[in-house]
Structure 1
Amino acid sequence: MSFRTDLARLRSAQAARLQRLKASDVTSSPRPAPGSATPAAGPPWAGPGFAEFVGIVALMMAVTAMSIDNLLPAFPLIQQRFAVQDANSLQLLVYVYMIGFGLAQIVYGPVSDALGRRKVLLVSLAIYAAGCGLAMVAPSFEWLLASRVIQGIGAAGGRVLSTAIVRDRFSGREMASVMSLIMMVFLIVPMLGPAIGATMLLLGSWIYVFVSMLALGGILALWFAARMPETLHPEFRRPLSVSATMQALGTVLRTRVAIGYATALGLMTGCIMGYVGSAQQVFDTGLYHLGSLFPVAFGLVAGSMGAATLVNSRIVRRLGMRSLSHAGVTAFTAVGLVQVGIGLHYQGQPPIALFLAVLALNQFLISFVMPNFNALALQPLGAIAGTASSFLGFYTTMLGAFCGWLIGRAFDGTVMPVTIGYAGLGALALAVVAWTERGRLYRAGISG
């Protein structure tokens, strides 16, 4: 089936849906309840209710965050176990995971567009479990790094398919609202991740951290298999072929909105990755020496992101994705410049309370940006949602991992690499958005 045929069928289905909506208005049919979202074109939904749907999809994304955040407290023990000389090298446990995570995304989308979402996700979780098992028996640091790559390859399925499943069911501002709710649940994990990791360490070994990851993956596999039906409509399945995949890739690359917002999202992801990669050194071993309070500090910052995504989900339908995300990235950049000023004033070592307050404010602002950028990038690509999510996920992850690696490797015992990274990447993201919108910022579009 060609891309043009897929697109024609999608447009036909959307037109039929609009006619049904108009007819329902004429006959005074009941409207959706407040807070519900209108599904995209497809068969009647026979899966879990809205809250459970959000929970399952959020857990699909949470596996990714858990696999990063709960390992951070184990860095000192891993350094001791494998005699790692350079503490900055421990950040590779984050970045090689993200490399596997990014590269694998380019596969999951086209495969899921051909075979469906369910089968592909369950296979990806099996790969993730294999990575966890290999990490538990790692005889060397290099083996552990290779295991992390495999973990990332498996976790990538949840990242790609969570977005594709949401796009299968929702579109426009409603998709942004749903993604914000999912992101809110997803961001609870960073609050709990280091604490869970620290708890696992109390059992006597860093190996138990990987046991907790394996348990989370198992819970997701059982829940998804039992409750989530196939969301890809048979009409929208695409052939698994090089020509079809390249045709879809060409469509993504030619879509200015998609590639522009994906680039901006990748730059903002770089801020997050730079912070996460440096967090253990900033808060514990390299600067503030918080020790057992490290999970508390990390959780407070993550909590601000969770609160912001809840607010975003409530107001994005009224204000629109563009207006809200443009204001968010502008404010983020401004606060980033303030961070740099504070860092310079205190020679790179500001009081911990001040640093946490400003950092939490910027994490709050970034949560008005990332889910909306993600929805805006995918909005014009509904006919190839899985493949588009795959390519854009690969691109944003690799760009974010590279930018985060640059920030993390620059750690010098101060907060300056993180603060400069936030301000610089925020400014670049704002410039890219201005290019994407041809200079017309802060205006709501037809669908966003």
Structure 2
Amino acid sequence: MRETEFVGLMAAIQALQALAIDVMLPALGQISRDLGVTDANERQLLVGIFLICSGLGSLFPGAIGDRFGRRPVVLASLGIYVAISLASALVTDFTTLLVLRAILGFGTAAMMVMPMAIIRDQFGGDRMARIQSLISMTFMVVPMFAPTVGQAVLLIAGWRWIFGVMALLAACVALWAWARLPETLRPEYRQTIAPRAILSNMWDALRCRAALGYFLGASFVQGALFGYINSSQQLVAEHFGAGVFFPAVFGGMALVMSATNFINARIVERFGARRVSHAAAITYIVVAAVHLVCAMLGETLWVFVPLMTISMCMMSFIGSNFASIALQPFARTAGAAASVMAFVRLLLGALLGTLIGQAYDGTARPLLAAMTVAGVVALGLVFYSERGVLFRRLNPPGQTGPEVNGPAELT
């Protein structure tokens, strides 16, 4: 495939995970009412359970992909997405829907893991960060339009049809992948399926100092983002009074976040993933702290949205670059490394996001305090990986092949 189609397909696969969250946000209130949920915060579990199980499920597809290839794992995951989405449209109680959301998260975790491994199969260095940014930019279109799509479906046909739309889109992506996705795993890189070898490859990823601080730091920042997503409907639509304009506000913020990924793709090969992401992490901390002060003094929607949008833009710089830096040392075991990193990032991020969402008290203060702390912790972890030196550039321009930074630095 040409680069444009490759970016589009990888983005579409990852975007289905975002779709499973964002398209439902306008319907959470109606779902909870129809299924007899009385606790307002309990509706957030439809998002939190999905994210937690995605984290748990991401521990397995990488090792399977390292043995049998990326293509069959991707196609199987898309099939699960279609089946569980259709089943979710038929539920009659909230507990069953939670169980199906858990199965969906666990069974489709490969849709986040495998694109990372496929990208690492073919790119390295700052070129990999550029490709990841382009993919992130493309799949951010989903959160931009998904709440609007969900709102439209809700008005026309009811919330059950939202799951039907999810199934239809997943089926289209599955046909695209079946027809066009090649196998990217090199034959000489195929790993044994023996548990001891799998655990060894995963342990190598966990004890690599150059990677550890980056994927743990990304987990804390992503946890803050999940906290916002969990509570966004209550915070923006109800507390700040956006009401039916919530999808437009949410989508507009996602649009700016998507543009940030485009900017990152344009500058990362010039300045380096480390320099860009380190600057973004520092800016993120400053903006979150200022926003917290504003929230304590009292703020309106017109103050919240610009400051939160800036924070989300910094999350874009951090997420794309941290992920590519963390995967650099693992050319031969990209699947196992991507799997264990996604496991840690999604599970820790989902747990933190659930806790942040459940701490919602009718104001933005708990969210903003958590964002500030998450930024400080993430920067401290980067200091650990970089041995106390920020803004270095380890990959000179031009070194972009998949073997860049091949061997892992294990400590």
Structure 2 residues not aligned, in runs of 5+: 397-404, 406-411
Aligned twin of 2:409:
none
Q: What per-residue deviation string (whole Å, max 9, x for no partner) do you get for residues 207-242 of structure 1?
A: 011111111111110000001111111111111110
Using the TM superposition, give the Cα deviation of residue 325 of structure 1 relative to its aligned residue in structure 2, in angstroms.
0.4
Q: Does 1:429 align with 2:382?
A: no
The 8 Å contact of residues 126 and 154 in structure 1, kept in 2 or not, is answered as: no
Using the TM superposition, give the Cα deviation of residue 279 of structure 1 relative to its aligned residue in structure 2, in angstroms.
0.5
Aligned twin of 1:24:
none
Task: Give secondary structure in 2 for the equivalent of 1:263.
Answer: helix
The 5 A counterparts of 1:343-362 are 343-346=295-298, 350-362=299-311
Q: What per-residue deviation string (whole Å, max 9, x for no partner) do you get for residues 7-42 of structure 1?
A: xxxxxxxxxxxxxxxxxxxxxxxxxxxxxxxxxxxx
Q: Does 1:284 align with 2:237?
A: yes
Q: Does 1:228 align with 2:181?
A: yes
Q: What per-residue deviation string (whole Å, max 9, x for no partner) do you get for residues 367-423 of structure 1?
A: 111100000110001110011100100010011011111110010111111111111
Aligned twin of 1:97:
50
Alpha-carbon distance between aligned partners in 2 of 1:237 and 1:280, rounded to the nearest angstrom: 45
Task: Give secondary structure in 1 for the equivalent of 2:332.
Answer: helix
Q: Does 1:321 align with 2:273?
A: yes
Residue 366 (structure 1) aligned to one of 315, 335, 351: 315
Aligned twin of 2:392:
443
Aligned twin of 2:76:
123
The 5 A counterparts of 1:27-106 are 48-106=1-59
Q: Does 1:342 align with 2:266?
A: no
Alpha-carbon distance between aligned partners in 2 of 1:95 and 1:83, rounded to the nearest angstrom: 19
Using the TM superposition, give the Cα deviation of residue 438 of structure 1 relative to its aligned residue in structure 2, in angstroms.
1.3
Q: What code does the residue aligned with 2:110 have?
A: G
Aligned twin of 1:330:
282
The 8 Å contact of residues 125 and 395 in structure 2, kept in 1 or not, is answered as: no
Q: What code does the residue aligned with 2:376 have?
A: A
The 8 Å contact of residues 124 and 153 in structure 1, kept in 2 or not, is answered as: no
Aligned twin of 2:346:
397
Q: What code does the residue aligned with 1:194 have?
A: P
The 8 Å contact of residues 176 and 313 in structure 1, kept in 2 or not, is answered as: yes
Using the TM superposition, give the Cα deviation of residue 365 of structure 1 relative to its aligned residue in structure 2, in angstroms.
1.4
Alpha-carbon distance between aligned partners in 2 of 1:149 and 1:140, rounded to the nearest angstrom: 15
* TM-score, normalization by structure 2: 0.95
The 5 A counterparts of 1:165-180 are 165-180=118-133
Q: Does 1:138 align with 2:91?
A: yes
RMSD in angstroms over aligned alpha carbons?
1.1
Larger radius of gyration: 1
Aligned twin of 2:326:
377
Q: What code does the residue aligned with 2:70 have?
A: R
Q: What code does the residue aligned with 1:407 have?
A: I
Q: What per-residue deviation string (whole Å, max 9, x for no partner) do you get for residues 318-352 of structure 1?
A: 10011110000000000000010100111xxx111
Residue 114 (structure 1) aligned to one of 59, 67, 71: 67
Aligned twin of 2:367:
418
Alpha-carbon distance between aligned partners in 2 of 1:254 and 1:298, rounded to the nearest angstrom: 38
* Larger relative contact order (Cα-Cα within 8 Å, sequence gap ≥ 6): 2
Using the TM superposition, give the Cα deviation of residue 276 of structure 1 relative to its aligned residue in structure 2, in angstroms.
0.4
Alpha-carbon distance between aligned partners in 2 of 1:246 and 1:157, rounded to the nearest angstrom: 18
Runs of 4+ in 1 over 4 A off after TM superposition: none
Q: What code does the residue aligned with 2:264 have?
A: N
Alpha-carbon distance between aligned partners in 2 of 1:95 and 1:309, rounded to the nearest angstrom: 25
The 8 Å contact of residues 130 and 150 in structure 1, kept in 2 or not, is answered as: no
Alpha-carbon distance between aligned partners in 2 of 1:117 and 1:186, rounded to the nearest angstrom: 20
Q: What code does the residue aligned with 1:154 have?
A: G
Alpha-carbon distance between aligned partners in 2 of 1:162 and 1:354, rounded to the nearest angstrom: 36
**Count of residue pairs the alignment pairs up:** 397
The 8 Å contact of residues 130 and 151 in structure 1, kept in 2 or not, is answered as: no
Aligned twin of 1:4:
none
Return 330-339 or 146-155, whichever deviates more. 146-155
Q: What code does the residue aligned with 1:389 have?
A: A
Using the TM superposition, give the Cα deviation of residue 289 of structure 1 relative to its aligned residue in structure 2, in angstroms.
2.5
Alpha-carbon distance between aligned partners in 2 of 1:288 and 1:250, rounded to the nearest angstrom: 45
Task: Give secondary structure in 2 for the equivalent of 1:369.
Answer: helix
Return 230-239 or 123-132, whichever deviates more. 123-132
The 8 Å contact of residues 128 and 150 in structure 1, kept in 2 or not, is answered as: no
Aligned twin of 2:248:
296
Using the TM superposition, give the Cα deviation of residue 154 of structure 1 relative to its aligned residue in structure 2, in angstroms.
3.0
Alpha-carbon distance between aligned partners in 1 of 2:77 and 2:329, rounded to the nearest angstrom: 27
Q: What per-residue deviation string (whole Å, max 9, x for no partner) do you get for residues 51-91 of structure 1?
A: 00000000011001010001000011111111111110111
The 8 Å contact of residues 71 and 197 in structure 1, kept in 2 or not, is answered as: yes
Using the TM superposition, give the Cα deviation of residue 243 of structure 1 relative to its aligned residue in structure 2, in angstroms.
1.1
Structure 1 residues not aligned, in runs of 5+: 1-47
* TM-score, normalization by structure 1: 0.87
Q: What per-residue deviation string (whole Å, max 9, x for no partner) do you get for residues 87-134 of structure 1?
A: 101110001101221111111000011000111111111112222122
Alpha-carbon distance between aligned partners in 2 of 1:91 and 1:80, rounded to the nearest angstrom: 13
Q: What per-residue deviation string (whole Å, max 9, x for no partner) do you get for residues 404-445 of structure 1?
A: 111100101111111111111111111111111111011212
Task: Give secondary structure in 2 for the equivalent of 1:368.
Answer: helix
Alpha-carbon distance between aligned partners in 1 of 2:66 and 2:154, rounded to the nearest angstrom: 41
The 8 Å contact of residues 263 and 396 in structure 1, kept in 2 or not, is answered as: yes
Using the TM superposition, give the Cα deviation of residue 136 of structure 1 relative to its aligned residue in structure 2, in angstroms.
0.9
Q: Does 1:312 align with 2:264?
A: yes
